[in-house]
């Protein structure tokens, strides 16, 4: 990869340890993927924030970088392993909290904005169409590429941090227009009724399109919450963090519809639900907010849960960004949800919190949430927000 004089200085260690390490990572990636040069990025989103995933080795790595590493562009974080304020209420241990706080302090020293969310685009980290960014979390990467029309690869934690310290990333993969062309036309012939149908659609398209970039037709309308749910699912069950949706995503009119065609029918959606849903009726954990809830979703939850009571043996989490929670506080949604026995899980989520073995069966709106909760040894049920609230109140899944 060709380096400018300034990049070479960075690689030679003239701008400190963290920048040198970062340039080593970026140069190695550039060489592996055949990048010709580094390109500027407008923002970074860093994954690998939960101490649960990082462990002591990861914490040590971050502390080393934090000695002289300072980010050069707007950088935000993916969810951490706990709510940074109300971790006790979510059953997190003192030991875990101490370590997680050390991780956050290291990121803070680097100049990173401590907003731990997979929906950075809802709280101010919003790239423009065509802008190059270096984001990590798969649903956010898919949303940035597809819904916003920005350009990013799916970065690992270290490569995203490296991009933040240098302000650049190697120009390969989805940064190049030739790699952003759709490969397969996916004709959707189903009606999408509830939020979880978007997760089921993501499952169906992800499984059928596999490693191909989908050009989707037949979807008449979609709001931001439906699209974020679809983004999370299609990249979890498929492989590509980019799709086009005719009439809905901004670049869909400027690319050619591919000849190869797949069809998604009612049977595919049913198959998705059959595969995501386990045989279970007792529910001890309900979590809405994967990806993190928008303020609109929180208001819907508040309306549905008003005057009800979460069952004694069931825990109900609303996972969201701290910014959305602050709005919810102002609007009174927090009071209503907490009066019903619900808990806010800000800065964290069901996949990165240390939940293995704590709950037996999850109800959620999210196909992605089901995928990761199975790895945490839970049985899973996916449905609408209403169905999830019903499960929280009765402790049962009704079907």
Applying CB under 6 A, the residues found at the interface with ligand F3S are 78-79, 118, 137, 139, 232, 290-292, 319, 349, 351-352, 368-369, 372
Q: Tell me the closest approach of the beta carbon of residue 53 to ligand F3S, in angstroms.
A: 11
Shorter beta-carbon distance to ligand F3S: residue 169 or 365 = 365
Query: H helices within 110-156, ranges in order?
Result: 138-142
Q: Which helix (H) or strand (E) holds 184?
A: strand 184-188
Q: Tell me the closest approach of the beta carbon of residue 285 to ligand F3S, in angstroms.
A: 14
From 326, 325, 243, 220, select the one nearest 317 (Cα to Cα). Answer: 325
Shorter beta-carbon distance to ligand F3S: residue 37 or 86 = 86
Q: Tell me the closest approach of the beta carbon of residue 119 to ligand F3S, in angstroms.
A: 7
Q: Tell me the closest approach of the beta carbon of residue 268 to ligand F3S, in angstroms.
A: 22
Whole-angstrom distance, CA of residue 193 vs CA of residue 224: 15
Q: What is the DSSP string of 57-84?
A: HHHHHHHHHHTT---SSEEEE--BSS-S
Q: Tell me the closest approach of the beta carbon of residue 139 to ligand F3S, in angstroms.
A: 4
Shorter beta-carbon distance to ligand F3S: residue 10 or 103 = 103
Q: Tell me the closest approach of the beta carbon of residue 189 to ligand F3S, in angstroms.
A: 27
From 141, 122, 135, select the one nearest 324 (Cα to Cα). Answer: 122
From 249, 192, 191, select the one nearest 215 (Cα to Cα). Answer: 249
Q: Tell me the closest approach of the beta carbon of residue 290 to ligand F3S, in angstroms.
A: 3
Shorter beta-carbon distance to ligand F3S: residue 117 or 153 = 117
| Angle, alpha carbons 327-330-333 (nearest 5°) | 80
Shorter beta-carbon distance to ligand F3S: residue 157 or 369 = 369
Q: Tell me the closest approach of the beta carbon of residue 234 to ligand F3S, in angstroms.
A: 12
Shorter beta-carbon distance to ligand F3S: residue 209 or 319 = 319
At 319, give phi and psi (nearest 5°). -90, 130
Shorter beta-carbon distance to ligand F3S: residue 50 or 334 = 50
Shorter beta-carbon distance to ligand F3S: residue 53 or 275 = 53
Q: Is 2 exposed, middle or buried (0-12, 13-18, 19+ CB in 10 A)?
A: exposed
Whole-Å CA distances, 354 to 52, 136, 366, 375: 6, 20, 19, 12
36 preceded by cis ω (within 30°)? Answer: no
Please answer whether residues 227 and 219 qualify as being in contact, where contact means their C-beta atoms are separated by less than 8 angstroms.
no
Q: Tell me the closest approach of the beta carbon of residue 360 to ligand F3S, in angstroms.
A: 19
Shorter beta-carbon distance to ligand F3S: residue 18 or 118 = 118
Whole-Å CA distances, 264 to 203, 268, 270, 338: 11, 6, 11, 40
């Amino acid at each position: 990869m060709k380096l400018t004089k300034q990049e070479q200085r960075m690689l030679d260690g003239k701008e400190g340890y963290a920048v040198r390490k970062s340039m080593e990572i970026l140069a190695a990636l550039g060489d592996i993927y055949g990048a010709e040069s580094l390109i500027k990025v407008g923002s970074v989103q860093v994954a690998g924030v939960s101490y649960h995933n990082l462990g002591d080795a990861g914490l040590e790595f971050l502390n080393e970088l934090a000695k002289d590493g300072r980010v050069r562009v707007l950088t935000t974080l993916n969810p951490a392993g706990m709510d940074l304020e109300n971790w006790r209420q979510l059953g997190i241990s003192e030991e875990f909290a101490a370590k997680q706080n050390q991780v956050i302090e290291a990121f803070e020293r680097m100049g990173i904005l401590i907003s731990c969310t997979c929906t950075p685009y809802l709280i101010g980290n919003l790239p423009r169409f065509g802008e190059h960014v270096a984001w990590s979390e798969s649903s956010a990467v898919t949303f940035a590429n597809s819904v916003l029309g920005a350009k990013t690869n799916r970065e690992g934690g270290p490569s995203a941090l490296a991009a933040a310290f240098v302000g650049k990333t190697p120009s390969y993969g989805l940064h190049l227009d030739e790699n952003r062309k759709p490969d397969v036309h996916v004709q959707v012939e189903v009606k999408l009724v509830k939020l979880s149908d978007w997760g089921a659609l993501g499952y169906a398209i992800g499984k059928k399109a596999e490693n191909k970039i989908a050009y989707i037709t037949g979807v008449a309308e979609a709001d931001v919450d439906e699209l974020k749910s679809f983004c999370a699912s299609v990249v979890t069950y498929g492989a590509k963090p980019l799709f086009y949706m005719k009439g809905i995503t901004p670049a869909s009119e400027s690319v050619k519809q591919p000849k190869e065609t797949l069809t998604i029918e009612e049977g595919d959606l049913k198959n998705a639900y059959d595969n995501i849903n386990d045989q279970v009726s007792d529910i001890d954990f309900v979590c809405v907010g994967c990806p993190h809830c928008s303020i609109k979703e929180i208001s819907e939850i508040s309306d549905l849960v008003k005057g009800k009571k979460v069952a004694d043996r069931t825990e109900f989490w609303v996972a969201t960004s701290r910014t959305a929670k602050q709005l919810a506080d102002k609007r009174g949604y927090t009071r209503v949800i907490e009066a019903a026995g619900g808990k806010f899980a800000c800065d964290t989520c069901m996949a990165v919190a240390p939940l293995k073995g704590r709950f037996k069966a999850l109800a959620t709106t999210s196909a992605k949430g089901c995928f990761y909760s199975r790895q945490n040894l839970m049985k899973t049920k996916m449905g609408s927000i209403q169905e999830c609230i019903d499960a929280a109140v009765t402790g049962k899944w009704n079907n």
